[in-house]
């Protein structure tokens, strides 16, 4: 198995946010491993405001974790 997440430490908060988005995307890929199914479902959530808000909440949770690891709030 290839290690894709060596650290939560980032140089800038912007890089931290990008990492949070990546964490969210990887979680989806690990949950639904069939790329065809993910592609098929994309249209459903892309036009659903509740789904988009939920996505934003997941990213925010990941960003809080990255921010804590980097001490952004000091």
- Which pLDDT tens digits describe the chain residue by residue (74 residues)? 678 899 999 999 999 999 999 999 999 999 999 999 999 999 999 999 999 999 999 999 999 999 999 999 88
pLDDT of residue 56: 96
The answer to whether residue 4 is domain-embedded is no
The answer to whether residue 64 is domain-embedded is yes
| Number of domains into which the chain is organized | 1
The answer to whether residue 17 is domain-embedded is yes
3-state secondary structure labels for all residues of 10-69: CCCHHHHHHHHHHHHHHHHHHHCCCHHHHHHHHHHHHCCHHHHHHHHHHHHHHHHHHHHH
Residue 29 is part of which domain span? Answer: 13-70
The answer to whether residue 36 is domain-embedded is yes
The answer to whether residue 2 is domain-embedded is no
The answer to whether residue 5 is domain-embedded is no
The answer to whether residue 57 is domain-embedded is yes
The answer to whether residue 3 is domain-embedded is no
């Amino acid at each position: 198995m290839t290690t894709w997440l060596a650290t939560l430490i980032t140089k800038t908060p912007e890089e931290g946010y990008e990492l949070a988005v990546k964490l969210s995307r990887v979680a989806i890929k690990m949950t639904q491993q069939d790329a065809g199914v993910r592609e098929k479902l994309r249209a459903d959530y892309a036009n659903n405001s509740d789904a988009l808000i939920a996505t934003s909440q997941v990213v925010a949770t990941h960003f809080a974790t990255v921010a804590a690891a980097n001490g952004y709030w000091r």
